[in-house]
Amino acid sequence: MPFETLKPQVETIVFNTNKTANERLLSICKLLETHIEYYNWVGFYFKNGDKEELLLGPYVGEPTDHTVIPFGKGICGQVAVSNENFVVPDVSAQDNYIACSITVKAEIVVPLFVNGENIGQIDIDSNMPDPFTEADERFLEFVCAQISKIL
Q: What is the pLDDT of residues 54-74, one digit of tens each?
A: 999 999 999 998 999 999 999
Is residue 54 within 8 Å of 76, Cβ to Cβ? Answer: yes
- Give the residues across from 44 on adjacent strands: 122
CATH architecture, domain 3-150: 2-Layer Sandwich (3.30)
User: Which among 129, 90, 55, 14 has a CA at the least distance from the CA of 43?
Assistant: 55
Q: Where are the alpha helices (DSSP H) in the chain?
A: 3-14, 21-35, 74-82, 134-147
Burial class (CB in 10 A: 0-12, 13-18, 19+), 37: exposed
Q: What is the pLDDT of residues 82-134, one digit of tens each?
A: 999 999 999 988 877 776 678 999 999 999 999 999 999 999 999 999 999 99
pTM score, whole prediction: 0.95
